[in-house]
């Protein structure tokens, strides 16, 4: 019954899944940096900067990523008259999204620190940047990591959207195999299991860390 399906096909799906994971990994690594910048802006007492981060977060929260993907895929290249690589488009959009999400997680972690920490470090004359790097971030890292892992699973799930802008990922590989073999249920089921195993493992890890660090 399944003579058209070869063992090699499953290996190819796994290789496609590796691409999905790489896109997610690059997204999370870049957004750690941009998320930190976001939270510095958000925690600063400057009203304009606060307003900018507020609007940025609301926009990202309310607009589906697919709209961002469409804008960056169809509109920006036509306006600027340049061709942007599909991978870059997908990465830019995911980073825009993950920056806001991770920035909010970092901000919440830092805000939960006792106020005395901030006052004490101000009183010994540290600059705002030094306070952020040396005092606030190391102490709140235990509160940030579980949420960060959770966000990572959401990024992995969301990367499935790249198929809309023609990036070769696990779904596209699966589709190519299906075109040849027509085994829709097995291939999509296999991809479903791959996503489930990865994300389930990560979300368990996040729950475990949260419990161990007692937040």
Partner 1 sequence: MSLDKNFLIRVIPLYLNAIKTTLFISLISLVISIIIGIICIFIMFFNIKILKNICKFYIELFRNTPLLIQVFILYFGITKFKIYLGEQTCGIVGLSLLGGSYFAESFRSGIESIKKSQIESGLSIGLNKFQLFIYILFPQTIKISFAGISANIIFIIKETSILASIAVEELFHTTKSLIGIEYKTYEALLLLTIGYFIIIVPISLILYLIKRRISYV
Residues of this chain that interact with partner 1 (CB under 8 A) are: 61-67, 70-71, 74-75, 78-79, 153, 157-158, 160-161, 163-164, 171, 178, 183-185, 188-189, 191-192, 195-196, 199-200, 203
- Whichever of 121 and 159 has its CB closer to partner 1, that residue is 159
| Least distance in angstroms from the C-beta of 46 to partner 1 | 25
Long-range contacts of 88-92 (CB under 8 A, 24+ apart): 89/165, 90/23, 90/159, 90/161, 90/162, 90/165, 90/167, 91/23, 91/26, 91/27, 91/30
In three-state secondary structure terms, 46 is coil
d(C-alpha 151, C-alpha 202), whole Å: 10
| Least distance in angstroms from the C-beta of 183 to partner 1 | 8
| Least distance in angstroms from the C-beta of 58 to partner 1 | 8
- Whichever of 133 and 199 has its CB closer to partner 1, that residue is 199
Residue indicated by tokens 């699966």: 174
Nearest Cα residue to 101 out of 203, 28, 161? 28
| Least distance in angstroms from the C-beta of 132 to partner 1 | 27
- Whichever of 129 and 185 has its CB closer to partner 1, that residue is 185
């Amino acid at each position: 019954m399944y003579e058209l399906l070869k063992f090699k096909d499953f290996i190819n799906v796994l290789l496609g899944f590796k691409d999905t994971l790489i896109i997610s990994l690059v997204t999370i690594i870049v957004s750690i940096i941009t998320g930190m910048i976001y939270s510095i802006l958000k925690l600063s007492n400057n009203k304009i900067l606060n307003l900018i981060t507020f609007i940025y977060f609301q926009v990202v929260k309310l607009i589906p990523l697919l709209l961002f993907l469409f804008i960056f895929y169809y509109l920006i290249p036509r306006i600027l008259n340049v061709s942007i690589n599909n991978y870059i488009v997908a990465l830019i959009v995911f980073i825009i999204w993950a920056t806001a999400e991770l920035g909010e997680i970092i901000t919440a972690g830092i805000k939960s620190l006792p106020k005395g920490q901030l006052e004490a470090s101000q009183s010994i004359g540290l600059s705002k940047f030094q306070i952020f790097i040396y005092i606030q971030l190391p102490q709140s890292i235990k509160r940030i990591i579980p949420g960060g892992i959770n966000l990572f699973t959401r990024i992995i799930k969301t990367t499935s959207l790249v198929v809309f802008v023609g990036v070769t990922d696990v779904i596209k590989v699966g589709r190519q195999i299906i075109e040849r073999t027509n085994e829709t249920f097995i291939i999509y089921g296999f991809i479903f299991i791959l996503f489930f195993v990865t994300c389930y493992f990560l979300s368990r890890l996040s729950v475990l860390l949260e419990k161990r660090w007692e937040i």
